[in-house]
Amino acid sequence: MAKRHTVVNGAVAQLRQLLGTTYAVDDQLPNEKQLAEELDVSRGTVREALGVLATEGLVSRRWGVGTFVSPPLPAASLNMSTIQSYRDRVQLGGHIVGIRESSCSLEVPPDAVLTALGLAPGTQTWRVDRLFTVDGTPSASMTEHIPTVLYGIDIDPHAMTSIDTDLFDMLNSHVAGAVSRTATDIAAVTVDAGQASALGLEIGHPVLRAEQITFDSDGTPLAHSVSLQRTDLVRMHITR
């Protein structure tokens, strides 16, 4: 499955480059057979790659007619169809993701977080806070709680304070292939004074709150995350 995702992501990258250099808005792309030959991949891979670009709003697919280049979106796209970090999802849309503020410390999290992680009351976990930017503008704040020990291995998430290492990178560096799936609850909320200041918004401005639990293949919780995401900078696409 990982190899298949790599092939499709490669095709997506090649197609995105073509959109930026060879084709203009409203141009019709070659058919799947021609694109498959040009990219040296299967037609199935091209079909999946075009589907990704369609969910990102970069192309439109007209039944019985063909695929056309769409006008650029004013915001980045966040595709929720695969297990990827916030950084990777947004960067796939051609945007620059950075970290403006970050910290890593030990704390006893709220009971709800401990329950989600299957830990006993009073247990310490790592807490990683990050404020992400998209093209230089604050876009999302994220707080993640991670057990200090997984599979008998001491976990050190300090590398996550850099944009070069996300949660999945960090977990897989400790236990290769640990991450199997995520479960995410999404709700619309308004920001308080502190959240508004961090994200560059007015108090009471609506954002998306995403609460995510990351699991291994046995259903063991590996991390608990809560993020607040600006919707004027990043559009979210959920496909199933």
122 and 24 together in one domain: no
End residue of a domain, out of 30, 53, 69: 69
Question: What is the phi/psi pair of residue 142, to 5°?
Answer: -140, 130
Which of 30, 31, 84 is CA-nearest to residue 55?
84
- pLDDT tens string for the chain (240 positions)? 445 556 887 888 889 888 878 888 899 999 999 999 999 999 999 988 888 788 667 888 888 889 999 886 555 554 444 567 788 777 777 788 899 999 999 999 999 999 999 999 999 999 999 999 988 999 999 999 999 999 999 999 999 999 999 999 999 899 888 888 888 898 989 999 999 999 998 888 889 999 999 999 888 999 999 999 998 777 665 554
- In the 8-state DSSP scheme, what is residue 159? G
Which of 126, 62, 131, 49 is CA-nearest to residue 92?
49
Question: How far is Cα 52 from Cα 156, in angstroms, rounded to an integer?
Answer: 34
178 and 61 together in one domain: no
Considering the entire predicted model, what is its pTM? Answer: 0.66
Query: Does 125 map to a domain?
Result: yes
Query: Does 55 map to a domain?
Result: yes
